[in-house]
Amino acid sequence: MTAPLPLLVLGKGRDLHTERGVECPGELPAASDPGLVERARAAKAALGDQVFVLGHHYQRDEVIEFADTTGDSFKLAREAAARPDAPYIVFCGVHFMAESADILTSDQQTVILPDLAAGCSMADMAAIAQVEDAWLDLQDAGVADVTVPVTYMNSSAAIKAFTGRHGGTICTSSNAKTALSWAFGERGDAQVAAGTGKVLFLPDQHLGRNTYVRDLGGRLDECVVFDPHRPMGGLTREQLRDARMILWRGHCSVHGRFSVEAVDAARREIPDVKVIVHPECRHEVVELADEVGSTEKIIKTIAAAPAGTSWVVGTELNLVRRLAQQFPEQRIAFLEKNVCYCSTMNRIDLPHLVWALESLVEGRVVNPIHVDPVVAGHARTALDQMLALPGETHKD
């Protein structure tokens, strides 16, 4: 019996289902209501320069169509900061991204998240009280003084503020290497520069581990995982003292599901296939991939590849489907058929976007995102540190 393909193959603007005829996981409903499309167009035209719509690459097609700019979380943070003249920023993404936009924009601007239920399961894996307790554990173990917090953008404003208060930086998947290099070597502390320093990486253990090992040449046995649900993170003082990377026990519920078996199957089934994955994937998967990068890097890599190249992509399905439609000259497959859309990214749909835009036309602001000013001040310190990282440009 032929082994079933674990891949959902996409291409030429349509879904090519697996040999077993498995349906697309999490298939979206039929195309958007044409009336809603018209209403979104009309509301946006009526608002003109009053509104700027940002769209993350994981958003639905029906929403991306109305984005003034699209990007990964780093690019969108910069775009938000670069729009001082737009009184309203409608953020089509998830809550932590909208919070960051609010922190980076002026008090005269309002950031709107069309559906407040658009959160992020990874960001929810680190609560501020847990992080404060963890820091006390590091103090208790005598290592807090030589530890720099490096916090992934996918975190609450409160944790970004914690990072700012402790001299750390925010990073995204496109600048994590630069951020870690800075934390280990360039922050200016004698101990950190002398190579005895540590990083507390929050909240995605996979991005932290992958960046440290793959990009900085660090060793896996220099990483420990801090479990906030166990006393002292489930670690001994010695383990904390010996570690260089203290990884928070958090992960992405979407990217954590891509498997080694799926990569192996892709290589068996598709001749000369190239595997490209997001660095939120597990280390074993990243180790097997040909390319690793942020959503922006994934798009740029596929766009620059010669026609006829075969790609298997390990990231969110909305983006992979769009890539398959935009580059029909490539063979583009989704890495794992059992992985579905990011359910929280998908909360932002056309009805919510229309509601947010039409409310603005009527003079009502729905779902504004306001970060507490004290929290925002400290979080801004950490975000500004990210934007000022040495040589920081948007490379990926």
* Site for ligand SF4, residues 347 to 376, rule: CB under 6 A: none
DSSP, residue by residue, 305-339: SPTT-EEEEES-HHHHHHHHHH-TTSEEEES-TT-
Backbone phi, psi, residue 129, to 5°: -65, -40
How many residues bind ligand 13P, per CB under 6 A? Answer: 10
User: What is the x/- site pattern for ligand SF4, positions 222-261, by CB under 6 A?
Assistant: ------------------------------xxxx------
User: What is the x/- site pattern for ligand SF4, positions 282-321, by CB under 6 A?
Assistant: ----------------------------------x-----
Other C-beta atoms closer than 10 Å to the C-beta of 11 total 18
Indicate the helix (H) or strand (E) that contains 92.
strand 88-92
Indicate the helix (H) or strand (E) that contains 9.
strand 8-11
153 annotated ligand binder:
yes
Torsion angle, alpha carbons of 371, 256, 70, 17, to 10: -140
| Residue 252 makes contact with ligand 13P by CB under 6 A | yes
121 annotated ligand binder:
no
24 annotated ligand binder:
no
Q: Which entry of ligand SF4, ligand 13P, none binds 121, CB below 5 to 8 A by partner kind?
A: ligand SF4
154 annotated ligand binder:
yes
Question: Which structure tokens are listed for 95?
Answer: 């809550």
Name which of 95 and 331 has its Cβ closer to ligand 13P: 95
Q: Rounded to whole angstroms, how far apart are CA atoms 101 and 87? A: 13
Residue 154 near residue 123 (C-beta atoms within 8 A): yes
Angle at CA 209, nearest 5°, toward 207 and 213?
A: 120
User: What is the x/- site pattern for ligand SF4, positions 116-135, by CB under 6 A?
Assistant: ----xxx-------------
| Residue 295 makes contact with ligand 13P by CB under 6 A | yes
| Residue 335 makes contact with ligand 13P by CB under 6 A | no
| Residue 72 makes contact with ligand 13P by CB under 6 A | yes
342 annotated ligand binder:
yes
- Residues annotated as binding site for [4Fe-4S] cluster? 120, 252, 342
The residue ranges that bind ligand 13P (CB under 6 A) are 72-73, 154, 172-173, 252, 278, 280, 294-295
